[in-house]
């Protein structure tokens, strides 16, 4: 009745390492997927080179005045664009690669579409973080070399995650760790000078930005991509494998949807809101397809109610793929979605639509309403099968009239054949799909099955008597849904917890350098009390006590007592520590919180290699030394990429911060050219 689903024992996805590498990472595993990622990395480098050549040619074309030179540059530019198109098609071929991402089992099923992981360049945190620890936290930065090395090792491990839950947990732990790093070392008032570079998963175009949020967004994308690879890798010939595939694909949709809602100004094609919406639809459509396969796995019995159920399930899958194909055909994602993805979505929409009509044709042709049958139940199912019955027909009359049943069944059969022919034609239009052998076999077998049934019941006057088969109402017993990421299940320890509680010791707050306070007690009385959680504060300070005379102030945070770090100690623990040294005097270090209203102004400009119009925002915030000039107004600019907010909706690429020079600038009468007038309007990011 439908494509055979041969049961087979599931195989382990990837072997775990012997513990030499971090759990969830195995960079030495020479699997097909790791080789594929290496090919993607090589293609990314070639694309980067071609983009730079195109940029140079476009700049030369603008500057050249000689006619012959311009003609030569145009010729070279056409060659470069052709090379870029070829490289893009090769990258698309890797994205649709069946032999690498699909299950290793021999299955007679249409393959699913996975997402490739984003590639990145190495990042050295050591120098920047050490300088910031010394400057901002007034601590010996060499004491944190191991923590910085752990952070860099974790990032390196996340470039080659294993395709299982351990790999997902590894990526999630790095994402959460980045939250700690952002709070510790990335103040909102200035850039840190660390350049992050990530390659677009779909186009291979690199995006560079001095903003940790690009790193966080890219790691989130890779979590979603890894879930898609886990889902497509599951053995879809077993009940457990199909359930695992459904869950993984729904979780992929949840991560990508979280990325879309949280990071609203992503500077990369694959992470733009429009593209992420399409990817979420694609994951949910594939999860719905797995629901149909799970229902069909035990076998489809030639029974009236069973055929009604699977027909509506198939119609549901066809409907979601039709919606997906429509979304892929809309601007601006149409130019960036791989052509093979759009064709496969169209093929599946026609294929499952054909299956729905085939099952309805079977229940109408092969079954008759016999005496003693449940007429009411069958009539109800028949009425729910269509939004409207064909003109002149009613559900009960059609069930009782053998001739009407056969005519309506043949109409559905003819429509099924039309959909099958369209699916085969769509698959033949794409070179990548033509090379997927299992896809061609599935489409051919389904088409032959429908034609065989038509030949068994065909009559000479069918073309004159057949009516137009109505559309089948889609219905499912298990509606797929977006499953949000469960970050709370991953336990992560802040690498830099020795710096102190984040509520006080963060990059957004400023305080005085640690002051040494040497004081004595009078009959066990410290002259002050303590309050607050870690770190504790000096409270109710007696202005005439020894501590106050030594320089302690109301509200000071106690960071150490007698060289014992107490940033994380509670009130009772610090009090016990203070009273244990009251015989020969007490030595403690305190810090005072400063007003954080003053900030460093900076110049921020967007940057993306080879894409001129990605310079979408330039913010200049320079404080004038001349306070008497009342005519000047400095408008507070929103920082580039207001991630997760509904404001500042301008499209942007990447951010590079150039610290402004604190030198007074003379008033210039000559108007400077706008930076946007220098940009090429022929190539835009979105």
- Among 427-441, 539-553, 598-612, where is mean pLDDT lowest? 598-612
* pLDDT tens track for 91-105: 666 655 544 555 555
Predicted TM-score of the model (pTM): 0.75
Q: What pLDDT, on a 0 to 100 scale, did the predictor assign at position 669? A: 41
* pLDDT tens track for 263-292: 887 788 889 999 999 999 999 999 999 999
pLDDT surpasses 80 at 30: no
Specify whether the CB–CB gap between 270 and 333 falls below 8 A. no
pLDDT surpasses 60 at 356: yes
Q: What pLDDT, on a 0 to 100 scale, did the predictor assign at position 510? A: 86
Asked whether the bond before 251 is cis by omega within 30 degrees of 0, the reply is no
Q: Which residue has the tokens 């429009």?
A: 274
Q: What pLDDT, on a 0 to 100 scale, did the predictor assign at position 612? A: 36
More confident residue, 253 or 50: 253
Q: Specify the 3-state DSSP secondary structure of 602.
A: strand
Band (pLDDT 50/70/90 cuts) for residue 2 is very low
* pLDDT tens track for 169-214: 999 999 999 999 999 999 888 888 899 999 888 877 888 988 899 9
User: Which uninterrupted H or E stretch holds 564?
Assistant: strand 564-565
* pLDDT tens track for 498-551: 999 988 888 888 888 888 988 888 777 888 889 888 889 998 888 888 888 888
Q: What is the mean pLDDT of the chain?
A: 77
Specify whether the CB–CB gap between 203 and 94 falls below 8 A. no
Q: How far is CA 374 from CA 279, 320, 379, 505, 685, in A?
A: 44, 33, 9, 74, 61
* pLDDT tens track for 661-677: 344 444 444 443 433 33
Q: What pLDDT, on a 0 to 100 scale, did the predictor assign at position 102? A: 54
Interval 444-464 mean pLDDT = 80
* pLDDT tens track for 304-327: 888 889 999 999 999 999 999 999
User: Phi and psi of 394, rounded to 5°?
Assistant: -125, 155
Band (pLDDT 50/70/90 cuts) for residue 369 is low
pLDDT surpasses 80 at 656: no
Q: How far apart are CA 289 and CA 109, in angstroms?
A: 11
- The residue count of the chain comes to 686
Interval 223-230 mean pLDDT = 93
Q: What pLDDT, on a 0 to 100 scale, did the predictor assign at position 32? A: 42
* pLDDT tens track for 104-117: 555 678 889 888 88
Q: How far apart are CA 276 and CA 261, in angstroms?
A: 10
Specify whether the CB–CB gap between 106 and 439 falls below 8 A. no
- Proportion of the chain above pLDDT 70, given as a percent: 75
Q: What pLDDT, on a 0 to 100 scale, did the predictor assign at position 380? A: 81
Q: What pLDDT, on a 0 to 100 scale, did the predictor assign at position 97? A: 54
**Highest mean pLDDT of the ranges 58-72, 387-401, 631-645:** 58-72
Q: How far apart are CA 339 and CA 344, in angstroms?
A: 9
Specify whether the CB–CB gap between 524 and 582 falls below 8 A. yes
Band (pLDDT 50/70/90 cuts) for residue 257 is very high
Q: How far apart are CA 195 and CA 210, in angstroms?
A: 5
Q: What pLDDT, on a 0 to 100 scale, did the predictor assign at position 674? A: 38
Interval 573-601 mean pLDDT = 75
Interval 242-271 mean pLDDT = 91
Asked whether the bond before 193 is cis by omega within 30 degrees of 0, the reply is no
pLDDT surpasses 60 at 363: yes
Q: Which residue has the tokens 């991953």?
A: 490
Q: How far apart are CA 290 and CA 245, in angstroms?
A: 7
Q: What pLDDT, on a 0 to 100 scale, did the predictor assign at position 562? A: 85
Q: What pLDDT, on a 0 to 100 scale, did the predictor assign at position 259? A: 94
More confident residue, 211 or 28: 211
Specify whether the CB–CB gap between 534 and 542 falls below 8 A. no
Band (pLDDT 50/70/90 cuts) for residue 151 is very high
Q: How far apart are CA 22 and CA 17, in angstroms?
A: 9
pLDDT surpasses 70 at 639: no
What is the token pair recorded at 37? Answer: 């990622």
In the 8-state DSSP scheme, what is residue 590?
Answer: E
């Amino acid at each position: 009745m439908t494509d055979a689903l041969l049961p087979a024992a599931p195989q382990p996805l990837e072997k775990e390492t012997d513990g030499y590498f971090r759990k969830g990472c195995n960079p030495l595993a020479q699997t097909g997927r790791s080789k594929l990622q290496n090919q993607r990395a090589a293609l990314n480098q070639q694309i980067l080179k071609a983009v730079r050549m195109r940029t140079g040619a476009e700049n030369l074309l603008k500057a050249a005045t000689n006619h012959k030179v311009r003609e030569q540059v145009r010729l070279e530019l056409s060659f470069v664009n052709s090379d870029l198109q070829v490289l893009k098609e090769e990258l698309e071929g890797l994205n649709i690669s069946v032999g690498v991402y699909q299950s290793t089992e021999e299955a007679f099923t249409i393959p699913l579409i996975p997402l490739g992981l984003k590639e990145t360049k190495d990042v050295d945190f050591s120098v920047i973080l050490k300088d910031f620890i010394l400057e901002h936290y007034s601590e010996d930065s060499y004491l944190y070399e191991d923590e910085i090395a752990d952070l860099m090792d974790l990032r390196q491990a996340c470039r080659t995650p294993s395709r299982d839950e351990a790999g997902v947990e590894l990526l999630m732990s790095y994402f959460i760790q980045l939250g700690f790093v952002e709070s510790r070392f990335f103040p909102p008032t200035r850039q840190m000078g660390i350049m992050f570079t990530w390659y677009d998963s779909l186009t291979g175009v690199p995006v560079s930005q001095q903003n940790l949020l690009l790193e966080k967004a890219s790691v989130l994308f890779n979590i979603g991509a890894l879930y898609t690879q886990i889902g497509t890798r599951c053995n879809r010939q077993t009940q457990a494998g199909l359930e695992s595939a459904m869950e993984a694909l729904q979780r992929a949709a949840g991560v990508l949807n979280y990325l879309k809602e949280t990071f609203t100004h992503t500077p990369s094609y694959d992470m733009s809101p429009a593209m992420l919406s399409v990817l979420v639809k694609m994951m949910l459509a594939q999860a719905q397809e797995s629901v149909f396969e799970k229902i069909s796995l035990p076998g489809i019995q030639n029974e009236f109610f069973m055929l009604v159920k699977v027909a509506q399930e198939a119609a549901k899958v066809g409907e979601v793929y039709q919606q997906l194909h429509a979304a892929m055909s809309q601007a601006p994602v149409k130019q960036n979605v791989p052509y093979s993805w759009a064709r496969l979505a169209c093929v599946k929409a026609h294929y499952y639509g054909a299956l729905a009509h085939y099952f309805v044709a079977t229940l109408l042709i092969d079954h008759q309403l016999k005496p003693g049958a449940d007429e009411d139940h069958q009539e109800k199912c028949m009425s729910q099968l269509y939004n409207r019955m064909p003109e002149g027909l009613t559900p009960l009359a059609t069930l009782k009239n053998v001739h009407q049943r056969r005519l309506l069944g043949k109409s559905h059969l003819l429509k099924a054949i039309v959909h099958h022919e369209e699916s085969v034609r769509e698959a033949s239009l794409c070179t990548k799909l033509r090379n997927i052998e299992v896809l061609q076999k599935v489409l051919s077998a389904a088409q032959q099955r429908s034609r065989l049934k038509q030949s068994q019941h065909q009559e000479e006057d069918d073309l004159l008597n057949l009516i137009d088969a109505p559309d089948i109402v889609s219905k499912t017993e298990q509606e797929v849904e977006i499953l949000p990421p469960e970050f709370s299940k991953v336990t992560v320890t802040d690498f830099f917890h020795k710096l102190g509680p984040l509520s006080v010791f963060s990059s957004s707050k400023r305080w005085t350098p640690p002051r040494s306070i040497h004081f004595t007690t009078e009959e066990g009385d410290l002259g002050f009390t303590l309050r607050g959680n870690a770190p504790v504060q000096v409270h109710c300070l007696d202005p005439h006590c020894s501590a106050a005379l030594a320089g302690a102030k109301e509200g000071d945070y106690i960071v150490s007592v007698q060289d014992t770090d107490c940033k994380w100690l509670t009130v009772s623990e610090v009090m016990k520590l203070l009273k244990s040294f009251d015989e020969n005097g007490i030595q403690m270090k305190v810090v005072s919180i400063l007003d954080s209203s003053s900030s460093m102004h900076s110049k921020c400009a967007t940057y993306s290699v080879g894409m001129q119009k990605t310079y979408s925002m330039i913010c200049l915030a320079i404080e004038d030394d001349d306070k008497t000039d009342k005519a000047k107004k400095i408008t507070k600019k929103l920082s580039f990429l207001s991630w997760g907010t509904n404001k500042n909706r301008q499209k942007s690429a990447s951010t590079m911060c150039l610290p402004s020079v604190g030198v007074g600038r003379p008033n210039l009468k000559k108007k400077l050219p706008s930076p946007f007038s220098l940009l090429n309007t022929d190539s835009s990011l979105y």
